[in-house]
């Protein structure tokens, strides 16, 4: 299996440890990742979609073109990119008029959308690899680790376009979490948005959403949170201190990227994964797993 690899901006430019874990995990499962020359930001589902759907689609289409030229399906790590790229891909494949319109713009940069590839997220690729194969690679199951799965919005919604999992009660991530030997803890407001989309206009209020969510996760007695999207990661991992500083609660909820969990279960060391780069200490988790950072 090999994919055109689209890490997005947030992951490579701010959270390289996520990219690192994803590459290592997929590498261990013999999934080949091909760099996409000249790829840009996906098109940004929040800022750009809001400013101009047209530009948004065009920029997304450009990235799709690059993957088409490589003749590979596109794998993106970021859920935001997933919504952007998949929406563009589905819409452009389905809507002849839109396609011609966008291709006119693309012509100016000497590209054309042909609609020859699919857009995939990390879990879809892991599904393709297959649970059985992954099981065989698990050497250090994350025993009695209570994990609160946070799906994030753009992985499953809008479902009529993304058609990945149920938009209100998805289960894929939970299954993958249990695949690592950990237990997926059910908690209130599982699908509550991380609030990243609110950050640009009202950072303070978006923190309120983080605080809420972390509250439910703690109440459920989870050891940590598992996320898939860099924006959720930023919201949950980077802001916990800020919340405390601004006189809110004092949350200390470790936040892991699912790929990191998978790597740990496959026996990789916290060091090679660069877990130290997390802002909220993973100490408790690692201790429970009998690992040292």
Partner 1 sequence: MIEMSEEPRIGVYVCHCGLNIAAVVNCEKVAGEAAKLPNVVVSKDYRYMCADPGQEMIKQDIKEQKLNRVIVASCSPRMHEPTFRKCVESAGLNPFLFEMANIRELCSWCHPHYAEKATEKALDLIKMAAAKARYLSPLEVVKVPVTRAALVIGGGVAGIHSALDLADMGFKVYLVERTPSIGGKMAQLDKTFPTLDCSICILGPKMVDVAHHPNIELLSYAEVKRVEGYIGNFRVTVAKKPRYVIEKECNGCGECANVCPVEVPNEFDENLGFRKAIYVPFPQAVPMKYTIDLEACIECYKCVEACKEQGREALNFDMKEQEIQLDVGTIVVAAGYDLYDPSKVKAYGYGLYDNVFTALELERMINASGPTQGSVIRFSDRKTPRSVAFITCVGSRDEKTNIYCSGFCCMYTLKNALLLREHYPDMEIRILFMDLRAPFKGYEEFYRRAREEGIQFLRGRPTEIYEDPKTSNLVISMENLSTGEPMDLEAETVILSPAAVPSAGSEELARALTVSRDASGFFMEAHPKLKPIDSATDGIFFCGAVQGPKDIPYSVSQGSAAASRAARIMIRGEWEIEPIVAFVDAEKCRNTKVKCGVCTTKCPYGAIAADEGKAALVNTAKCHGCGTCAADCPSNAITQRHFTDAQVLAQIHAALEEKPEEKIIGFLCNWCSYGAADLAGTSRFEYPPDIRVIRVMCSGRIDRDFVLEAFRKGAGMVMVSGCRFGDCHYISGNYNAEKRIKPLFTVLPRFGISAERLRLEWFSAAEAGFYVNLNKEMSETLRKLGIERIRVENEKARPFLDKMLQQSGD
Partner 2 sequence: MRRIEKRRGEIVKRDEENRTIMERRLLLRWYELALDRATCFGCGLCADNCPREAIKYLPAEFKGIKAVSRPSIDFEPEKCVLCGECVSICPMDALKMRIEQAERVPVIEANVFAVSTKKRW
Partner 3 sequence: MTEEMPEGLRELVKEKVLFCYQCGSCVGSCPTARAIPEYNPRKMMEKLILGGWEEVLSSKLIWLCTLCHTCYEVCPQGVGISHIIIELRNLAAERGMAPAGFLESAKQMAATGWTTTLTGAIQRTRAELGLPEIKATDTEEIKKLMKATGFRPALEAEKG
The site for partner 1 (CB under 8 A) is made up of: 166, 168-169, 185-191, 219-221
Pinpoint the alpha helices (H) of the chain.
10-14, 16-28, 47-51, 53-70, 79-94, 96-107, 122-129, 131-137, 159-162, 172-179, 196-199, 203-219, 230-233, 240-245, 258-265, 270-273, 283-288
Q: Which does 183 bind (CB under 5 to 8 A by kind): partner 3, partner 2, partner 1, none?
A: partner 2
Nearer to partner 3, 44 or 223 (CB): 44
Q: Which of 69, 128, 178, 218 binds partner 2 (CB under 8 A)?
A: 178
Tell me if 206 contacts partner 3 by CB under 8 A.
yes
Euclidean distance between CA atoms 194 and 233, whole angstroms: 9
Residue 278 as a binder of partner 3 (CB under 8 A): the answer is: no
Shortest distance (Å) from residue 14 CB to partner 1 = 31
Q: Which residues of 101-111 are buried (b: 16+ CB within 10 A; e: fewer)?
A: ebbebbeeeeb
The DSSP-derived string for 267-284 is: T--HHHHTGGG-SS--HH
| Backbone phi, psi, residue 35, to 5° | -65, 145
187 binds, among partner 2, partner 3, partner 1, none (CB under 5 to 8 A by kind): partner 1
Asked whether position 186 contacts partner 2 by CB under 8 A, the answer is yes
The reply to whether omega before 152 is within 30° of 0 (cis) is no
119 vs 45: CA distance, rounded Å: 15
Which of residues 40 and 186 has its CB atom nearest to partner 1 in the complex? 186
Residue 138-177 contact track with partner 2, rule CB under 8 A, x = bound: ---------------------------------x--x---
Q: Rg for the chain (alpha carbons), in Å?
A: 19
Q: How many residues does the chain have?
A: 293
Q: Which of 184, 206, 235, 239 contacts partner 2 by CB under 8 A?
A: 184
Q: How far apart are CA 112 and CA 106, in angstroms?
A: 6
Contact 124, 26 (CB under 8 A): no
Min dist. Cβ of residue 252 to partner 3 (A): 22
Residue from 27, 30, 32, 51 in contact with partner 3 (CB under 8 A): 51
Contacts with partner 2 by CB under 8 A lie at 171, 174, 178, 183-184, 186
Which residues contribute to the site for partner 3 (CB under 8 A)?
9-10, 12-14, 16-17, 19-20, 23, 35, 38-41, 44-55, 58-59, 62, 104-106, 108-109, 153-154, 157-159, 167-168, 191-193, 195-198, 200-202, 205-206, 208-209, 212, 274, 277
């Amino acid at each position: 299996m090999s994919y055109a690899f689209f890490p997005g901006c947030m992951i490579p430019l701010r959270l390289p440890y996520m990219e690192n874990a994803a590459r290592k995990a997929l590498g261990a499962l013999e999934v080949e990742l091909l760099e996409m020359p000249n790829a840009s930001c996906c098109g940004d589902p929040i800022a750009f979609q809001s400013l101009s759907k047209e530009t948004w689609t065009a920029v997304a289409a450009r990235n799709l073109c690059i993957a088409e030229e490589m003749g590979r399906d596109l794998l993106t790590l970021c859920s935001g990119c997933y919504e952007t790229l998949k929406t563009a891909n589905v819409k452009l494949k389905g809507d002849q008029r839109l396609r011609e319109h966008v291709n006119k713009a693309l012509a100016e940069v000497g590209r054309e959308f042909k609609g020859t590839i699919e857009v995939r997220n990390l879990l879809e690729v892991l599904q393709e690899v297959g649970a059985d194969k992954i099981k065989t690679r698990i050497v250090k199951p994350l025993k009695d680790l209570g994990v609160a799965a946070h799906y994030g919005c753009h992985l499953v919604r809008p479902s009529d376009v993304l058609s990945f999992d149920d938009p209100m009660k998805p289960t894929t991530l939970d299954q993958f979490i249990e695949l690592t030997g950990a237990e997926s803890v059910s908690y209130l407001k599982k699908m509550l948005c991380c609030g990243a989309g609110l950050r640009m206009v009202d950072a303070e209020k978006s923190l309120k959403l983080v605080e809420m969510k972390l509250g439910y996760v703690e109440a459920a007695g989870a050891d940590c949170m598992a996320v898939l999207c860099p924006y959720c990661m930023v919201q949950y991992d980077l802001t916990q201190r800020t919340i405390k500083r601004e006189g809110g609660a004092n949350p200390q909820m470790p936040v892991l990227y699912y790929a990191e969990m998978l790597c740990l279960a496959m026996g990789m060391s916290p060091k090679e994964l660069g877990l130290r780069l997390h802002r909220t200490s993973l100490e408790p988790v690692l201790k429970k797993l009998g690992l040292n950072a």
